[in-house]
Chain A
Amino acid sequence: MLLQVENLTKIYSLGKTSVRALDGVSLEIEEGEYVALMGPSGSGKSTLMHILGCLDRPTSGIYRFNGQDTAFLNDTELARLRNQKFGFVFQNFNLLPRLSALANVQLPMLYAGVNRRERINRAVELLNMVGLGDRVNHRPSELSGGEMQRVAIARALANKPTVLLADEPTGNLDSKTGGEIMNIFDRLAREGNTIVLVTHDPTVARYARRLIRLQDGKVVYE
């Protein structure tokens, strides 16, 4: 089992009140699955994705990645896991504005210690794959929203991650461009990538092969 979550809870304390963002979530995701985490805002879907991506730690419960309990990993090991095993795609793209598309795609490889030549070759290859072969030297400000998200997808794939985690990847895009982005995910899923997609949009969730619905921090539908 690739991703295994058991009785996960996450409690945020905001001053005196505390918010139970996740309340006993258990689920398993196998390699090659294309899963959509759906739910209204505040349902805990983003929190769950952050824990799955090792960006956050649960308050209680167990999260095993590839059989390894992540509770026993230190910050550096988690950083390494994020770098090697996960690719993140965010709603607001999160590209570094001063860097070209090429340099943005290289970032994860930079932290992986890949040499310059290999980095550039791989980045160009990835940008070609998402259809931006002619935009490699453009900065984010010179790209459209859809193009920025393609750069972000290329970046997420840079280190050939095991899991792609996408948090509302079409949230900032019009429906046509959003559809194009979803087609890329569709293709990646068909090529055997494991994808976990977080969305509140049923039309987007429909692309996934499996749907997990969350509400108030609990899995309500599988």
Chain B
Amino acid sequence: MSFWELAKLALGTFHAHRLRSFLTVLGIIIGVMTVISIVSLIQGMNYEVERQIASLGSNVIYLQKVSWGMGSIDWDEITRRPDLTYDDALALARLPVVAKVAPMRSRMIGRLNYRNRKVTNIEMAGITPSYGTLANYQVETGRFINSDDSLRKKAVCVIGGYIIDNLFPDEDPLGKQLLIEGKSFTVIGTLVRKGSFLGQSMDNVLFIPLSTFEKSFAPKRGYGEFAHSLSILIEPKKGVTLERIIDQVRELMRRRHGLGYDKPDDFGINSQETLRQIYHNISRVAFIVMIAVAAISLLVGGIGIMNIMLVAVAERTREIGLRKALGATTKDILYQFLLESVFLALMGGLFGVILGLSIAKVVELAFHLHAAAPLWIILLGFGFSATVGIFFGIYPASRAARLDPIQALRYE
């Protein structure tokens, strides 16, 4: 019997038991759906995160009080750490491997007003002129903070697109006076937009000179120790490797903090690599969860298929006997039932792929993620379904194939 004839036979049975078949393959649907949607989303996240990380400036390292994502955090130890200071920045700038440094400090601000409008959830950063290039910010209109602003501690600011949207919906912000927590600042520039990340705007930033920040918004002692420390962005000279600059910065800072050779670092050196590491750790967890869910669903789905196929074999014992009497070989019967279970599983796979892609699409639209299901994952979804169909179908099918024709024909 040709493959095509067998296939038509199997599809016919599937058609005759639509609801039963659908319920049977629910497990496979869920398994494949999970894999497709999560992989699409992770792919989308990968793309987004890589874009964000790249926007930090490719080889800039961040010297801060703490390392990013350093497992369990010992807050006692961290509060005892010395603050990073402007002098640290100056010393770092003198390292021969360093091209530029940009000390900065930032915090969220409670109130930002312009006339009767106000906007909240704004991150204010005190920066120096070099910050723009190191952190990848470009000016759209007006100008950036310059050294004159820093020197004179001017009350000027550069604002991001989110602030423009909320405070200056229909006027030019340049030269206008803003109130930052009640203090008056002049807008001297606007920033090129960075867009949003996971539905969160990246343009809710406001830059003022670091010196002005220290004068007007100096953090009070005893409250939020964390906020006293500067962050220092460091750009290495061309040709200096990441490892080398990290080594040199570490050595200098350890010397400045008078750390013995047996003491751990009391500062954190962060880079794009650190972020990538953190992100990879997170996405790996998502991957493991996905594989677990998928494996369980496929197992459940497979058992469902085996069960329904055993039922089918029992129900159709007479049919099997008759087919054998009419000349079906053991192989014909084996393939007939095996194909049926593979078709069942593939149908589950198909529904799973469709649902998974739909979920990914919905999430993409809701969160502006660039979700993409690569072809390999779709093929993998079908491949897994087919494997489940074969694996859990082989026993019922071989039971059908081994039936004795006479006993099968007499079966009531």
Taking Cβ atoms with an 8 Å cutoff, the residues of A that contact B are 50, 53, 55-56, 75-76, 79-80, 82-84, 88, 90, 94, 96, 98, 107-108, 110-113, 155, 159
Contact = CB atoms under 8 A, between A and B. Distances in A.
B326 A111 contact: yes
B146 interface: no
B332 A111 contact: yes
A112 B329 CA distance: 10
Interface string B1-23: 11001000000100010000000
Interface string B322-337: 1111111111100000
A111 B320 CA distance: 13
Nearest to A96: B319
B1 A98 contact: no
Given A96-B319, A98-B16, A50 B406 contact: yes
B330 A84 contact: no
Contacts of B1: 110-111, 113
Given A76-B329, A88-B326, 18 more contacts: A50-B406, A53-B325, A55-B325, A55-B405, A55-B406, A56-B406, A75-B329, A76-B331, A79-B328, A79-B329, A79-B332, A83-B326, A83-B328, A94-B409, A98-B16, A107-B323, A111-B328, A111-B329
Contacts of A98: 12, 16
Given A94-B322, A98-B16, A110 B5 contact: yes
B12 A111 contact: no
A126 B143 CA distance: 94
A83 B323 CA distance: 10
Contact of A155 (B5, B326, B329, B405): B326
A79 B406 contact: no
A94 B12 CA distance: 19
User: Which of A50, A96, A98, A111 lies at the interface centre, i.e. has the most chain B CB atoms within 10 A of its CB?
Assistant: A111
B406 A94 contact: no
21 contacts: A53-B325, A56-B405, A75-B330, A76-B331, A79-B324, A79-B327, A79-B332, A80-B329, A82-B327, A83-B326, A88-B325, A88-B326, A94-B325, A96-B322, A107-B323, A108-B327, A111-B326, A111-B329, A111-B332, A113-B2, A155-B326
B318 interface: yes
A94 B331 CA distance: 21
A108 B322 CA distance: 10
B326 A107 contact: yes
Given A82-B325, A88-B325, A110-B1, A76 B330 contact: yes
A141 to B, nearest CB: 14
A37 B12 CA distance: 39
Interface in B281-339: 318-319, 322-332
Nearest to B324: A79
A90 B409 contact: yes
Contacts of B12: 98
B119 to A, nearest CB: 69
* A-B CB proximity, top 4 nearest: A83-B327, A111-B327, A79-B329, A108-B326
A206 to B, nearest CB: 27
B9 to A, nearest CB: 9
Contacts of B325: 53, 55, 82, 88, 94
Nearest to B332: A111
Nearest to A107: B326
B327 A112 contact: yes
A149 to B, nearest CB: 14
A113 B1 CA distance: 5
Residue of A76, A90, A94, A110 with most partner-chain B CB within 10 A: A110
Contact of B327 (A50, A80, A96): A80
Nearest to B330: A75
Contacts of B2: 113
Contacts of B323: 107, 111
Contacts of B409: 55, 90, 94
B106 to A, nearest CB: 72
Given A98-B12, A111-B1, A113-B2, A84 B329 contact: no
Nearest to B15: A98
Interface string B144-163: 00000000000000000000
Contacts of B5: 110
Contacts of A55: 324-325, 405-406, 409
